[in-house]
Amino acid sequence: MEDRVRSWQLVEHLLDASVSPERVDELITLWDAQMERAGMSQPRLAEFAGPAFAHQIAGVLQILEQLQAAELRRANDLLSAMLGAAMVLAGDGTVVASNDGAARLFGLCPGGSVRRMALDAADMDILTTRLAQIAAGTPADDILRLCPAGFDHAVLVHLKAMPHTGSRRHVLAVTSEFAWPPGVSDLLARVFRLTGAETEVMRRLAGGGTVAGIAAATGRGAGTVRSQLHAVLQKTGARSQAELMRLAMVLAQSVPAGAEPPRPLAAPAPHQRFHRMPDGRRLEVLSFGDPAGRPVIWMQSNYGLWRLPRAAEADMARRRLRVMVPFRAGYCGSDPVPPGSHPFDIAVADLRALMRQLRLRSAVVVAPGHDIRIALMLARAAPDLVRAVFAIGAGFPILNDTQYRRLIPIARFTRTCARYSPRVLPFLIRSMRVVISTYGLERYLRGILARIPADARAMADPEVAAAFRDGVDKTFFAEPWSETAFCTELPLFHEDWPGDLGHVACPVTLIHGEQDGNAPFETALEYCALYPGWRCVAWPDEGELVAHVQWRAVLDLIGQAWAPETPLSII
């Protein structure tokens, strides 16, 4: 009877978490406590978290999807009635819903982020700060004056708190901009005989432009623009600019919007490139440091641990390191995995193709988290290409109950579900994203790391916090997010390794914080014992963010890998 009660408690917490995903932590705590009482071994883990548990989760996931669908329908209905470019935003800037104007004028679509807008740093800081404040309830609304790149005038944005569901609060953002449907230009040419130049003046004027601004944007003289405006007034019969604007608004509402391509986003950052793979897919790669330096492939990790503090990235050039971060198929700007392909085989093939394109004879490979598996696969498939592997906070498949108990509760829950109930993963990911949209990304990250003193201390450093947040933000929120890629990869990472995977020709160095609750140091030592050629570097007072804090020592180790006459230091 006691087990049955605990089972019902679990089901009730699953239902609670589906309605209020911020309560998923309570679910994990209850689940973990029940497993502790049962004293379960690996075989019983499979029994406990097997088909019955997956069936319960499937029902909860259906509820969550229905709630999200209903909320999205309400948001879309609200936006469809608005002429101006408008969005529903989460507190961290994630786009929950957007109308056609927001997509075409600002490139903002559901799942994207306002951080993708072409704003300077000061405007972006103002926008994101006010979003977070309004989502938290103070103040109720605000009007911002922003200057996006590509506009010849300021854009007004009205931010207003929306009625919230449960503890979730979203922000309605209505801008002063409206998308100009292509059909309007055709109608003006046909009915009023406006020339292309005259239509352009009317369009820009309707968008808030001034005579001087239109002249600067089009390369015409101010006198020419005034003459064209006068011609527009005469041909349309409008007696003033105000009446002309009313005509433009009427036409924009009555003429169906066409499939005009979105306004281009800001130019790619200097360190961002896209490479074509042999099958035509695009692979996004970020590069830092010295373009002519010694190559380092820094893998993304499926949790976004690819970015170091700005000072570290600046120091890479001084060290003559060329650090490249390729995003695997399905993540960020990289195209999805081809149907029927194994994601890790594709990842290895893409890394080899990238190195061929860049004419790299070899590289040091840095693998945060579970990415050690792919790094070792690359080292076995192409031993000449991999000079050394550095695994930071390496995640390994669990071999026994002791290794399982070392993990913090949320890591135990995630790994057990990944191995025995992968159908649970979409529920966890969607719950996490809803919680983040409620509380903001940085607050969420600080919360999950607060249990580890070393990581809490690391997050108190603004540069470390910014680097970690930016890495997670790009991986999960700022780009089109692929839940499929993540939920497909995670179970594969937790499958048992082939016995020979760790036997590679190049040196392998594990870099760990001894307080890491997701990748325990003791487990790393046990894997080192399985592969005697491996080395282990550890810091007693660091945790999961060891590389973010000890980046100088980490870059020292990477630099030594390019000097074979100098032995690797063991700390």
CATH of the domain at 102: 3.30.450.20
| Average pLDDT value for residue range 420-432 | 75
| Average pLDDT value for residue range 277-297 | 94
- Domain final position from 145, 175, 205: 175
Considering the domain architecture, whether residues 240 and 320 belong to the same structural domain is answered as no
| Average pLDDT value for residue range 22-31 | 67
At residue 262, the pLDDT reads: 42
Is a pLDDT exceeding 60 seen at residue 300?
yes
- Domain final position from 128, 147, 175: 175
**139 preceded by a cis bond (ω within 30 of 0):** yes
Helix, strand, or coil here: 301? coil
Under 8 Å between Cβ of 87 and 173: yes
Whether 430 is in a domain gets the answer: no
At residue 168, the pLDDT reads: 59
Query: What's the chain's length in residues?
Result: 571
Considering the domain architecture, whether residues 292 and 211 belong to the same structural domain is answered as no
CA pair distance 559, 126, nearest whole angstrom: 40
Confidence of residue 455 (pLDDT cuts 50, 70, 90): very high
Is a pLDDT exceeding 80 seen at residue 58?
no
Confidence of residue 153 (pLDDT cuts 50, 70, 90): confident
At residue 71, the pLDDT reads: 64
Read off the pLDDT of residues 303-346 as tens digits, 9 standing for 90 and up.
889 999 999 999 999 999 999 999 999 998 899 998 889 999 99
At residue 342, the pLDDT reads: 95
Using the Cα atoms of residue 377, residue 373, residue 445 and residue 108 in order, give the sign of their dihedral. Answer: positive
Considering the domain architecture, whether residues 463 and 542 belong to the same structural domain is answered as yes
Lowest mean pLDDT among 12-21, 454-463, 536-545: 12-21
Q: Which residue has the tokens 């919360």?
A: 447
Is a pLDDT exceeding 90 seen at residue 537?
yes
| Average pLDDT value for residue range 27-43 | 64
Structure tokens that stand for 226 in this block: 């005034």
Whether 413 is in a domain gets the answer: no
Considering the domain architecture, whether residues 106 and 222 belong to the same structural domain is answered as no
Confidence of residue 421 (pLDDT cuts 50, 70, 90): confident
CA pair distance 323, 354, nearest whole angstrom: 13
Is a pLDDT exceeding 60 seen at residue 64?
no
Considering the domain architecture, whether residues 341 and 358 belong to the same structural domain is answered as yes
Considering the domain architecture, whether residues 456 and 525 belong to the same structural domain is answered as yes
Considering the domain architecture, whether residues 296 and 381 belong to the same structural domain is answered as yes
- Any bridge partners for residue 159, and if so which? 142, 173
Whether 346 is in a domain gets the answer: yes
Using the Cα atoms of residue 59, residue 61, residue 65 and residue 71 in order, give the sign of their dihedral. Answer: positive
Instruction: Write down the pTM of the prediction.
Output: 0.67
Considering the domain architecture, whether residues 401 and 509 belong to the same structural domain is answered as yes
DSSP code per residue over 465-504: HHHHHHHHHIIIIIS---HHHHHHHHHHHTSPPPTTTT--
| Average pLDDT value for residue range 464-490 | 83
Lowest mean pLDDT among 187-196, 285-294, 327-336: 187-196
Helix, strand, or coil here: 405? helix
At residue 317, the pLDDT reads: 93
Using the Cα atoms of residue 436, residue 442, residue 446 and residue 449 in order, give the sign of their dihedral. Answer: positive
**Which has the closest alpha carbon to 491: 416, 380, 399?**
416
**Which has the closest alpha carbon to 513: 318, 305, 312?**
305
Considering the domain architecture, whether residues 300 and 331 belong to the same structural domain is answered as yes
At residue 88, the pLDDT reads: 86
Whether 569 is in a domain gets the answer: no
Whether 440 is in a domain gets the answer: no
Amino acid at 34: Q
CA pair distance 295, 351, nearest whole angstrom: 13
Domain that holds residue 195: 182-254
CA pair distance 259, 276, nearest whole angstrom: 27
Confidence of residue 216 (pLDDT cuts 50, 70, 90): confident
CA 533 to chain centre: 36
Share of the chain above pLDDT 70, in %: 78
> For the chain, what is the mean pLDDT?
81
At residue 565, the pLDDT reads: 45
From first CA to last CA, the distance across the chain in angstroms is 53
CATH of the domain at 199: 1.10.10.10
Confidence of residue 2 (pLDDT cuts 50, 70, 90): very low
Considering the domain architecture, whether residues 250 and 171 belong to the same structural domain is answered as no
Whether 154 is in a domain gets the answer: yes
Q: What is the DSSP letter of 395?
A: -
| Average pLDDT value for residue range 230-238 | 88
Q: Biggest alpha carbon distance in the chain?
A: 88
Secondary structure in 3-state letters for 150-184: CCCCCEEEEEEECCCECCECCEEEEECCCCCCHHH
Read off the pLDDT of residues 340-373 as tens digits, 9 standing for 90 and up.
899 999 999 999 999 999 999 999 999 999 999 9
Whether 415 is in a domain gets the answer: no
- Domain final position from 175, 208, 225: 175
CA pair distance 546, 305, nearest whole angstrom: 11
CA pair distance 559, 568, nearest whole angstrom: 10
CA pair distance 93, 111, nearest whole angstrom: 10
At residue 54, the pLDDT reads: 60
Read off the pLDDT of residues 506-525 as tens digits, 9 standing for 90 and up.
999 999 999 999 999 999 99
DSSP code per residue over 201-256: HHHHHHTT--HHHHHHHHT--HHHHHHHHHHHHHHHT-SSHHHHHHHHHHHHHHSP
The number of folded domains in the chain is 3
Considering the domain architecture, whether residues 239 and 282 belong to the same structural domain is answered as no
Whether 305 is in a domain gets the answer: yes
Considering the domain architecture, whether residues 244 and 360 belong to the same structural domain is answered as no
CATH of the domain at 497: 3.40.50.1820
At residue 215, the pLDDT reads: 84
At residue 259, the pLDDT reads: 39
